[in-house]
Structure formats: structure tokens, C-alpha cells
Amino acid sequence: QVRLVESGGGAVQAGGSLSLSCAFSGRTFSSYAMGWFRQAPGKEREFVGAINWNGGSTYYVDSVKGRFTISRDNAKNTVYLQMNSLKPEDTAVYYCAARGVWRAASSGYDFWGQGTQVTVSS
């Protein structure tokens, strides 16, 4: 079974940076596209961005484009979310997720981590 464990969350001032990691285990990492999501209190879970199996393609929602960067290191079975120029509205629990490359993006994600808290203060 695929297991995902996020780390790197914490508290930061607005304008600061934070880097999250997601460790993947249980299957072949390169067979999975990876996504990042976040959920703020009282709000629905929101898609942040995604990366394909080899890191050659990324996608970000407009609200984080230019500030967040997703990368992956297949040798380390890890996907990263580098967050720069953080805003208070970025405050949320951040989750990584995995989807097998044989599945279409419209099918959603199959496996989820436990999440890590990111708090941005003004």
C-alpha cells in the first residue's frame, strides 16, 4: 500500500518562505503523479498544484502561481513544495497525494498523507 508522510510545516511571517516534503513508500514512486492540496479551517480542501512522474511538467492554481514550486526527487521517493512570499491566506493544513500514472487527472487522487500545518502570520 502507498504511504505518504508530510513534513516541514510550521509558522512563518508573511513574506517568508517554507519548504514542505512528502515521503512516499510502498510502491514505485515514479509510477505516480503527485499533487499538493490544502485545507483552511471552515473551508473545503483546495488543490494547490501537481507534478508528473518525472518532474517534467507542473501545474499550479493561479493563487499560488509564481510563489510556490513543486519538485520531486525520484531517487529519494520525495516530492517537495517550496513556498515563497507567503501570505496569511496560505494558512492551512497541507496534504500531499498520489495518483497512478495510468489514471487520468480527472479521476482524482488515490492516496493521501496525514497533512502538515502551515501558519502564516501578518
Q: Is the pLDDT of residue 96 over 90?
A: yes
Q: Is the pLDDT of residue 107 over 90?
A: no
pLDDT for the residue 106: 81
Q: Is the pLDDT of residue 104 over 90?
A: no
Which whole number is the average pLDDT over 95-110?
91
Per-residue model confidence as pLDDT tens digits over 44-84? 999 999 999 999 999 999 999 999 999 999 999 999 999 99
Which of 121, 90, 122, 119 minimizes the C-alpha distance to 9?
A: 119
Per-residue model confidence as pLDDT tens digits over 13-36? 999 999 999 999 999 999 999 999
As a whole number of angstroms, the distance between CA 15 and CA 87 comes to 6
